[in-house]
Structure 1
Amino acid sequence: MALAIKTRNTATRLLTAAAVLSGLVLSAAPAHAAATPSHTEASASAAALPAVDMEAVVLAAQIDPRRADHTLTPGAHDSVMAVEQALEARHLLDARWVNGYFGTTAIGAYAAFQRSLGYTGLAANGLPGASSLATLGQGRYTLIHQIGPGARLQRDGYTIDTRTQQMLTEAERLLGFHLTLSQGSYNPGGDPTSAGTHDGGGVVDVNIDGMSSTTRTAVARALREVGFAAWVRNPSQGDWPWHIHAAAISDTDLSTQAQNQTGDYYLGFNGLANHGADDGPRIPIQTWEQYQRSH
């Protein structure tokens, strides 16, 4: 009888201890769950952030500084506002310039941000790149429609970037013949008559020796169709031979001078210092990415 009582007491103590331990584990579980957000909660948090369209921001950064007024670039307002608000939060842009217009003040503020990241040269000229835009937007926005120049390569003995090569290849497909370059990109100081437009990426000159006037116009049209700001240049305009000058719109390695040319192209100008009217074939203007989506 005593042995039975002793056995029941031992069992009771074991059950009590197990219950206590079970309670401790159960009470600890909610605290741990609250400290670690679920995958669903993390996804919802990211989804709550506004989306910044990189294509729209880069386009506005080329066009807006060249405007004579404060007309906004279509489709860019919300994305530009988010970027400007992020610059304001870093005390790089005054609140009065947070307006959805990516003008010269915003360009200067963005260049300052790029320099704060340690960027120099082309990477710190105020034209947003994917890496800096993503860094600026951490915790503030998500980045969509990312674009970039890609790796550098050689074509006809000149350096260009992958995006430019793809655009030239598509223009050749439309034309049905090969285009030969007479100048490439990333050529700082290589040709003083180019006024710095070839210092960065996205800009080429096409050799048009032997082409008729009709063929020259057709080449300029094809280049424009795939996303270049392109013009037939002649010796009466400057100290250069006949050629076609083409700047790839929204190439994020564009020099400042080339950015100005692409902005002027959208506004109906010829891309020259005289700010004359566009003398090339007029077609709906689009970027390489827009062209790809429509074909």
Structure 2
Amino acid sequence: MKPLSAGVAVAAGLVALATVPAIASSSAEPTPATATVSMAAVLRAAQIDPQRHDQTVTAGAGPSVTAVERALRARGLLDQQYVDGHFGSKTVSAYAAYQRSLGYEGLAANGLPGRSSLVRLGTDRFEVTHVVGPGARTTHGGKVVNERTKAMLRQAQRLAGHTFKLDQGSYNPGGDPTSAGTHDGGGVVDINVDGMNRALRSKAVKALRQVGFAAWYRTPSQGDWPHHIHAVAINDPDLSSPAQHQVGDYYLGRNGLANEAPDDGPEVKPIRTWEQYRRTR
């Protein structure tokens, strides 16, 4: 047989190499490019799971959370043992570290997945669906809130048949030491109850819960504060860490205070976010 020339041999070798299937790296554990991650689901899990006393996975959030955890693991920010679909404190800390690596700070690095950071994390791994945004900062009753919170308050007022007067709004770091940092971020308000009778207070709290707030009527016997209604917008990406924990407590049937006592407000089931509420109308 006539020997192949050098050029022909090289060409033949390249053809042979082209027919060899690529070997995927098992250590990276990539999520398929066609995967989707629900921002709404991972936000919900990131608020509830750190408040659990076990490793239970939040219903409907497991696949999305696992995809996020795999991406954090691929960046060396999360140990493999925590890639389990449970968005606990280790995952929150890892996500906050990822946000800081992007140059974010303050509320933008609070460990709650925001749209921009989640999209960047999902590059070549997953697409982001069910996006939640707080909107720009605005005012309601003279207090600073974001557009999402304002829309929620307006609808709750319609359901309650009462206009709310706010004692405290959002984005108010250090404004009231008794608030324990809950108002440092977005999505949190305190509502004045002067002139409200017991029935109206209960109706107001129920209305707030119906539209997507974790809400409670607070009394001086519970802490160093006057009578008021405290409300936290579920799934607001701008929530401070203490406010995140209160949302988790609400889902778990607690009162949102340090004593973790049972929820003392009107029952509203199922618990819905603002986006879920709007879809039911």
TM-score bucket of the superposed structures, by smaller chain: 0.7 to 0.9
The CA distance in 1 between the partners of 2:124 and 2:234, in whole Å, is: 29
Match of 1:175 in 2: 160
Match of 2:173 in 1: 188
The Cα shift of 1:283 comes to: 1.1
Which runs of no fewer than 5 residues in structure 1 stay unpaired?
A: 1-46
The CA distance in 1 between the partners of 2:92 and 2:140, in whole Å, is: 32
Match of 1:5 in 2: none
Q: 1:53 aligns with which of 34, 38, 43?
A: 38
Q: 1:204 aligns with which of 189, 196, 216?
A: 189
The structure richer in helix per residue is 1
Say which SS state the counterpart of residue 229 (structure 2) adopts: strand
Q: Where do 1:3-22 residues align within 5 Å?
A: none
Are the aligned partners of 2:218 and 2:229 in contact in 1 as well (CA < 8 Å)? yes
The amino acid across from 1:291 in the alignment is Y
Say which SS state the counterpart of residue 100 (structure 1) adopts: coil
The Cα shift of 1:177 comes to: 2.3
Q: 1:89 aligns with which of 45, 49, 74?
A: 74
The CA distance in 2 between the partners of 1:192 and 1:183, in whole Å, is: 12
Structure showing greater radius of gyration is 1
The Cα shift of 1:175 comes to: 1.7
Match of 2:226 in 1: 241
Which runs of no fewer than 5 residues in structure 2 stay unpaired?
A: 1-31
Say which SS state the counterpart of residue 222 (structure 2) adopts: coil
Q: Deviations over 1:82-137 (max 9, x none)?
A: 00000011111111110100000000100000000000111111111000000000
The CA distance in 2 between the partners of 1:141 and 1:180, in whole Å, is: 43
1:225 matched to 2:216 = no
TM-score, normalisation: structure 1: 0.83
Q: 2:90 aligns with which of 105, 114, 117?
A: 105
Which segments of structure 1 move beyond 2 Å, counting only runs of 4 or more? none
The Cα shift of 1:147 comes to: 0.4
The Cα shift of 1:273 comes to: 1.1
Q: Percent identity?
A: 62
1:156 matched to 2:145 = no
The CA distance in 2 between the partners of 1:249 and 1:154, in whole Å, is: 19
The Cα shift of 1:48 comes to: 5.1
The CA distance in 2 between the partners of 1:118 and 1:130, in whole Å, is: 15
Q: Deviations over 1:186-209 (max 9, x none)?
A: 000000000000000000001110
Q: Deviations over 1:29-65 (max 9, x none)?
A: xxxxxxxxxxxxxxxxxx9510100000000000000
Q: Where do 1:16-31 residues align within 5 Å?
A: none
Say which SS state the counterpart of residue 145 (structure 2) adopts: strand
Q: Where do 1:112-151 residues align within 5 Å?
A: 112-151=97-136
